[in-house]
């Protein structure tokens, strides 16, 4: 029966195939249901996690809006933030430009990276990252290793930040937390 259904569908006959009509009915019912419940749409768009770091891509530059290094102003070149070994990190990336940008770093070669949102994975010889289209937002989750091999990682847009000094380059510092003074 499945084979016959596929043959009819591929031949354009579609006889006895309620699938397209069923899908349309379900989609219309779902859309109508969302229209009757505006709170449901608001709940869907709210982020699930409070990010530790927010990096915004706008005016063809990276801007750290939350995390160490946030609010450093335009004088702070390159943009930077710090992370602590052993911590679970939530990093929010938002592209406010009209063109696609990438957030690529060798840091992601050392962690198990999970992301939520619409993006494409990017691989280079030494780094991994994500490409975000205009207006896209992505949330990354990962844990910094407790014994990191490095204390500094660079991040860049592989499209617009390949050279040192470009506005689409930044730094991530891996810092040990300050120990409380013993009494």
Lowest mean pLDDT among 21-30, 76-85, 150-159: 21-30
Closest CA to 80 of 156, 181, 180: 156
pLDDT of res. 94? 97
Instruction: Give domain limits for the chain.
Output: 2-45, 53-174
The set of residues, in sequence order, having a beta carbon less than 8 Å from that of 67 and lying 6+ positions away, is 52, 53, 54, 81, 82
Q: Where are the beta strands (DSSP E) in 68-177?
A: 80-83, 88-95, 101-105, 114-117, 120-123, 128-132, 137-143, 152-156, 169-174
Architecture in CATH for domain 53-174: Sandwich (2.60)
Structure tokens at 85: 């070994």
Note the pLDDT tens digit of each residue in 96-110. 999 999 999 999 998
Q: b/e per residue, 131-157, with b = 16+ CB within 10 A?
A: bbeeebbbbbbbebeeebeeeebbbbb
Structure tokens at 30: 């779902």
Note the pLDDT tens digit of each residue in 8-48. 444 444 444 444 554 454 455 544 444 544 443 333 344 56
pLDDT of res. 15? 46
Helix H segments across the chain? 2-10, 19-36, 38-45
For the beta sheet containing 61-66, the strands, ordered from the edge strand earlier in sequence to the opposite edge, are 61-66, 53-58, 88-95, 137-143, 114-117
> Average pLDDT, whole number, for the chain?
75
């Amino acid at each position: 029966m499945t084979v016959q259904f596929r043959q009819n569908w591929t031949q354009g006959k579609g006889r006895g195939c309620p699938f397209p009509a069923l899908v349309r009915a379900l989609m219309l019912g779902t859309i109508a249901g969302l229209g009757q419940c505006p709170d449901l749409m608001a709940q869907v768009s709210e982020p699930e996690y409070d990010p530790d770091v927010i990096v915004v891509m706008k005016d063809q530059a990276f801007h750290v809006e939350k995390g160490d290094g946030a609010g450093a102003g335009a004088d702070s070149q390159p943009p930077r933030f710090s992370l602590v070994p052993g911590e679970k990190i939530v990093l929010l990336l938002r592209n406010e430009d009209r063109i696609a940008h990438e957030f690529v770093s060798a840091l992601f070669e050392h962690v198990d990276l999970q992301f939520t949102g619409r993006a494409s994975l990017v691989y280079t010889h030494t780094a991994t990252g994500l490409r975000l289209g205009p207006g896209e937002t992505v949330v990354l989750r990962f844990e910094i290793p407790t014994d990191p091999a490095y204390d500094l990682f660079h991040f860049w847009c592989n499209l617009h930040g390949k050279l040192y000094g470009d506005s689409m380059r930044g730094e991530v510092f891996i810092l040990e937390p300050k120990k409380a003074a013993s009494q």
